[in-house]
Chains A and B, each alone.
Chain A
Amino acid sequence: AQKVTQAQTEISVVEKEDVTLDCVYETRDTTYYLFWYKQPPSGELVFLIRRNSFDEQNEISGRYSWNFQKSTSSFNFTITASQVVDSAVYFCALIFTGGGNKLTFGTGTQLKVEL
Chain B
Amino acid sequence: GAGVSQTPSNKVTEKGKYVELRCDPISGHTALYWYRQSLGQGPEFLIYFQGTGAADDSGLPNDRFFAVRPEGSVSTLKIQRTERGDSAVYLCASSLEASGGPLYNEQFFGPGTRLTVL
Contact = CB atoms under 8 A, between A and B. Distances in A.
Given A45-B91, A52-B104, A106-B42, A101 B98 contact: yes
A101 B42 contact: no
B44 A105 contact: yes
B43 interface: yes
B48 A102 contact: yes
A104 interface: yes
A98 B104 contact: no
B56 A102 contact: yes
A105 B91 CA distance: 13
B99 A101 contact: yes
Interface residues of A, number: 27
Interface residues of B, number: 31
Contact of B95 (A91, A93, A101, A107): A101
Interface string B1-43: 0000000000000000000000000000001010100001111
Nearest to B98: A101
24 contacts: A42-B111, A43-B111, A43-B112, A44-B111, A44-B112, A45-B93, A47-B108, A50-B104, A91-B43, A99-B100, A100-B48, A100-B98, A100-B100, A101-B100, A101-B104, A102-B45, A102-B48, A103-B35, A103-B43, A103-B45, A105-B44, A108-B40, A108-B41, A108-B42
